[in-house]
Amino acid sequence: MNNDNNELNNEYTVEALEARFEMEAVVDDGGATADGSCECKITW
């Protein structure tokens, strides 16, 4: 067990992390209707 742990600790691992861009899309509700249905679309 100890040998396993040592082996794990001896592993050379590298993981490049992705850039963190917190985004919010420019969208609107696309025109909600009285019956609650809506159609999504993008506002350009």
Partner 1 sequence: MSIQLHQNIQISSFVSPGHLENNQFLIQCEHLNYVVSTPVKTLIESLILYQNSNETLVESYFTTTQRNASEQDIITLARQHIPKELFANTEITDQRNPFIFSMTLLPERFLSLFSVLLTPLFNKWLCLITIVTLISVHGSLLAQISQSATLGIPIGSIPTFILAMLFSYFIHELGHISACQRYNCPHGSIGFGIYLVFPVFYADVSKAWRLSQKQRAVVDLGGLYFQSMLIIAIDCFAYFTESQLAYVVSWTITFTMLHTLNPFFKFDGYWLLSDLSGITNLHDKMRTSLLRVKHKILHGTPLNFREDTTLYLLMPYSALAMLFFIYVATFLSRKLWQTGQDIASALSKIQGDSLSESFTLMFEKETLLPLLKTTMWAVLFVLLLSFYLKRIKNLLVQDNNLEAENK
Positions touching partner 1 (CB under 8 A) are 9-29, 31-34, 42-44
Distance CA 43, CA 2 (A): 59
Give least dist CB 43 to partner 1, A: 8
Give least dist CB 33 to partner 1, A: 6
Give least dist CB 11 to partner 1, A: 6
Distance CA 36, CA 29 (A): 11
Is the Cα torsion angle 24, 26, 16, 4 positive or negative in sign?
Answer: positive
Decide whether 3 or 29 has the Cβ nearer to partner 1: 29
